[in-house]
Amino acid sequence: MARVSTLAGTRLPRRVATLSVHTSPLEQAGSGDAGGMNVYIVEVAKRLAQAGVEVEIFTRATRSGLPPTVEMAPGVLVRHVIAGPFEGLSKEELPAQMCAFTNGVLRAEASRSPGWYDLVHSHYWLSGQVGWLAKDRWGVPLVHTAHTLAKVKNRQLAAGDRPEPKSRVIGEEQVITEADRLVANTPIEARELIDLYGASPARVSVVEPGVDLDRFTPAAVGREEAARVAARRRLGLPARGYVVAFVGRIQPLKAPDILLRAAALLPPDLRDEVTFAIVGGTSGSGLDLAGLAGELGIAGMVRFLAPQDRQSLPEVYRAADVVAVPSYNESFGLVALEAQACGTPVVAAAVGGLPTSVRDGRSGLLVNGHDPAEWARALARLLRDPRRRAVLARGAIEHARQFSWNRTAAGLLAVYRDAVSGNRSQGFELATAQ
Ligand code: UDP
């Protein structure tokens, strides 16, 4: 039986074990396996702790010499679990280490007083496997967020990208069956959980991710151009002309190659004026973008920037006239939201969560499919139309304001409260603060 504390009239867990097996919230997002999920876990954990729910995040130790625990923020502890060699294990090799990882999680709990955790929240299917066992062992509810789903990913593969193996599909099905509550980022993901994985609608809640609206802010009204030039100078980008930015992990799923192919198809006069800033590091199989730019004869149009930390990212977005998100799939698309919060319109693929994070025609443009010619047309139209960009920029700021991590944390608290109280929703619902 879960122990709960009463906070502001609602029953909440006192302490949550958050599981993030394959990537640490302490990692810099934007390369390797660190991306939106890392940002999500950090932002939400800080806010849950502020609301009085302590969070302990279990992640695999990927370097020797890491301390067993790190206090990430008041009320948020990161626990490094030793499972397999420190370095050199890919995400695909991690299933063989799940027993060791689970052992580390159970031992950590056993060393505390009985009933230390009131709830387990697992992120990604590997963590769900661990959470499934922990939930039974501790007698507490399991809340699971998939972040990505193999069946969805396999339907929208980039050319040459490896399909997710059957073992992952089975692992996801097991977790989706066993979890007490499933958190989906968007109503579309909720439908995928129900239609493709047979999740019962009563266990599915939609909690939309957010954006740090204090950090990702637009330039002051009337100062947009000056801020753009200043940001470009600091980033080493040309002060004149247009900048189209791609921010994210360099991997086939994110399709930055489509953007370069589109760059090569821009009308010649525009080509002379546009710089494509590619921000982020290699992930998984990666992509040889420098080689591709050379082959396409556009090397002079492309600048590569290393992964940027949260302090520098607003400058990247403000430096750009347009941020492009051409992914084959995104469960939500935090980059799109961050860019809009900074007042930069987004051109995004109409897939996954992107139609939620980008309001087509209001805060940016959605492009159907991944035909580089179609992308070149969309970019050219927007770059040549400063009035349209200004209207979309205002729409982007307005749209992004609806999303905040405070709202996400409030939605999760509502799910947690229901989970520890054994409540069920009547079909999938948008979880919000009460
Ligand atoms: N990111 C970052 N530095 C970079 C590139 C990306 O911090 O150089 C962050 C970005 O701000 C966003 C996250 O990584 O919060 C990527 O999330 P998104 O949902 O766009 O994609 P995912 O990585 O989840 O596929």
Report the nearest atom of ligand 1 relative to the CA of 336: 20
* Residue 429 clears pLDDT 80, i.e. is over it: no
The protein residue with its alpha carbon nearest to ligand 1, atom 1, reads 30
pLDDT of residue 10: 53
Q: Do the Cβ atoms of 75 and 12 come closer than 8 Å?
A: no
Question: pLDDT at position 114, please?
Answer: 86
pLDDT recorded at residue 424:
63
pLDDT digits (tens, 9 = 90+) for 250-281: 999 999 999 999 999 999 999 999 999 999 99
Residue 422: its pLDDT value, please?
Answer: 81
Residue showing tokens 């740090």 = 212
The sign of the torsion formed by the CA atoms of 219, 222, 223, 228 equals positive
Distance 335 CA to ligand 1 centre (A): 6
DSSP code at position 250: B
| Residue with token string 């979880």 | 431
Ligand 1 geometric centre to CA of 5 (Å): 34
Q: Is this complex scored with an ipTM above 0.90?
A: yes
Whether residue 290 is predicted with pLDDT greater than 70 in this model: the reply is: yes
Report which ligand 1 atom has the smallest distance to the Cα of 34: 23
Q: Write the CB contacts of 385 (distance below 8 Å, at least 6 apart in sequence).
A: none
Q: Which atom of ligand 1 is nearest to the CA of 281?
A: 8
Of ligand 1's atoms, which has the minimum distance to the CA of residue 333?
A: 19
35 marked among binding-site residues: yes
Please check the confidence at residue 88 and state whether its pLDDT lies above 90: no
- The pLDDT value recorded for residue 347 is 98
The alpha carbon of 151 and the centre of ligand 1 are apart by a number of angstroms equal to 22
Q: How far is the CA of 40 from the centre of ligand 1 (A)?
A: 10
β-partners of residue 80 are 59
Is 198 a residue whose pLDDT tops 60? yes
Confidence of residue 426 (pLDDT cuts 50, 70, 90): low
| pLDDT reading at 100 higher than 70 | yes
110 pLDDT exceeds 60? Answer: yes
- Cα dist. 43→49, 122, 181, 432 in Å? 10, 16, 21, 17
Greater confidence (331 vs 237) lies with 237
Smallest CA separation from ligand 1 atom 16, residue: 36
The pLDDT score that the predictor gives to residue 3 is: 41
Crossing angle of helices 256-264 and 289-296, rounded to 10°: 10
328 is in an annotated binding site: no
Instruction: Say how many Å lie between the CA of residue 230 and the centre of ligand 1.
Output: 23
How confident is the model over 1-26, as pLDDT tens digits?
334 444 444 589 999 999 999 999 99
Residue with structure tokens 């290393």? 306
Residues 352-378 have a mean pLDDT of 97
pLDDT at residue 403, rounded to an integer: 96
Packing angle of the helix pair 187-197, 166-178 (nearest 10 deg): 100
**Mean pLDDT, residues 292-314:** 97
Q: Percentage helix, strand, coil, to 5, in the chain? A: 45, 20, 40
Looking at every residue in the chain, the average pLDDT score rounds to: 94
Q: Range with the lowest mean pLDDT among 1-10, 45-54, 166-175, 377-386?
A: 1-10
What's the mean pLDDT in 222-243? Answer: 96
Percent of the chain with pLDDT over 70: 95
* 124 appears as a binding residue in the annotation: yes
- Give the Å distance between the CA of 42 and the centre of ligand 1: 13
What is the pTM (predicted TM-score) of this model? 0.94
For residue 72, pLDDT beyond 70: yes
Q: What one-character DSSP code corresponds to residue 270?
A: H
308 lines ligand 1 (CB under 6 A): yes
